[in-house]
Amino acid sequence: MKRRKMVVAAGFCLSFLMGTLMNLLFIPGFEPHGERVHRHRHHENRQQQPDADAPARLHVDELPPVETATVGRLPELQRQIRERLDEVLRYRQRRAHWVGTGPLERRRLMDLEQRGEGATYKGIGKNNNYDQSQPTVSIATKSHREITRESVLGCSSIDNVTNVQYLGSGYTKAVYKATLNSSFSVALKSVDFGGHDMENCVKKYGSSTDCYKLASFKIVKEMTLMERLQHPNILKLYGYCYQDNNDIKDTVTAITELGSPLEMIQLLQTPWEERFRICLSLMRLLHYLAHSPLGSVTLLDFRPRQFVLVGGVLKVTDLDDASVEETPCSPSSPSDCLMEFPARNFTLPCYKDRCEGINEKRNLYNAYRFFFTYLLPHSAPSALRPLLDKIVNSTGELIWGTDETLVHLEKVLDIYRNGHYLKNNTQTHKTEYKRVSDASIAAENYRCWPSYQHDGCLLSVFSIDEAIDVCESHAQCRAFIMTNQSTWTGHQLALFKTGAASMTAAPGRLAYIRLGAAES
């Protein structure tokens, strides 16, 4: 009996070892997290080295048929690939209000005209490639504006990138920061081989090639939408590259504008004017999406991490989960148009077999719960708070749509930009100030909140009178400097001080020194 147990145990151990060996030999491997950056800097694993001047091609329309040798074995995976391909094709074939489908097509047309070629532009067709084989000026000699507005970056552009830095990843994509020719920073987006989507797909279906194809269509969809939807609050697509990598042909890398991620904790500590700018940027984006050339677009994955800041302006960076499909419904079934959120639910009307305005309303309520409720009212000028509270409450109850909300936010901007939020105070100030031209105060800082400077009190003001009001409201303020810097609204930055003992020469600045309290 004892010998029999030993035989059974030995057989179990042997089967376990054999299974482990089979896994090591036949399950596709993934790059360790630390090697992701290496993959973008070096391409030794390419099966086919593309020519340096080969065109970067968004070749959705010339993809091979989805049916492969695994169709009989993996019909579900092939169905998913087919559905994603069809979705991309729908976006590319949908008519827009302009001629062409984006800056890459327009750039191609400009190239043909400059070279005097007789070929005509055929729009989205069977062979929709973007030819970059013509001689071009080195990126190193071009300005930032020329790179972003005129060039279409491709494989040759990222062959020798430097300062590659892994920024993060989501379910599907990994994002890297890279520098082109030591001067121009971009973001590189590619399928994360070790990400959630790839790992789960390979575990379920066992085909890394088909799983990559499924995941890559998210990037292709995002690039397509970046081309079709042209707006200042949508991240710019600079180009793309298809290349062979490891055992997979035609891996795709998107080259986009680089932004900084949103950090909500830090945003809550920034001046109200900057927080308002973010909310206004978001509302302008949502208004555009509600009336876009492709129809009403909803962001199904609407979270702060899907947005970045570029020069203080909010831009959406992830469009792979965007959709223009309006939810179908039946007038006899109100539950068809139920929108469920963690805090509350909404039921929209069914109109012409579609839930009326559901894409727009979903975006708007998400803007309220992730952005407006935190960023709009706090530390705003007192005269603006009633209007800001009304905006927050109306979006939280979905009383307004994007049109009305944007109108009211633009009204807030107009009031603030023109100083109409200031009290019409004709009384003289409590104290007198001595004005000193071309002067600043080196030390004697104090902290205030919220400030543009973490170790001082740097605030934006509409006028000298507002700066005096601020100084008189701070017990420690004895002087302030009107700098020669202004914010995005045109307000001037003023630096408030505890005294003027360290006054120095500073061309273009004005120092105001408090002389003492006036008699009441």
- Tally the C-alpha atoms within 13 A of residue 201's C-alpha that lie toward its C-beta: 27
The single-letter DSSP state of residue 425 is -
- In Å, what is the CA distance from 59 to each residue of 187, 250, 259, 276? 21, 10, 27, 40
79: CB partners within 8 A, 6+ apart: none
Q: Residue 260 burial (CB < 10 Å; 0-12/13-18/19+)?
A: exposed
Give the Cα separation of 430 and 433 in Å (integer): 10
Identify the bridge partners of residue 340 per DSSP, sorted by sequence position.
345
Give the Cα separation of 236 and 252 in Å (integer): 17
Phi and psi of 26, rounded to 5°? -115, -20
Give the Cα separation of 270 and 450 in Å (integer): 6
Q: Whole-angstrom distance between the N-terminal and C-terminal Cα of the chain? A: 107
Phi and psi of 292, rounded to 5°? -70, 160
Closest CA to 471 of 501, 435, 510, 513: 513
Phi and psi of 426, rounded to 5°? -90, -5
Pairing outcome for strands 457-461 and 492-497: antiparallel
* Known catalytic residue at 301: yes
Separation of CA 336 from chain center: 31
Both tokens assigned to 471: 């100084």
| Length of the chain measured in residues | 520
Q: Which of 131, 244, 301, 321 is catalytic?
A: 301
Q: What's the sign of the alpha-carbon dihedral 377, 382, 384, 389?
A: positive
Pairing outcome for strands 350-351 and 162-169: unpaired
What are the catalytic residues?
A: 301
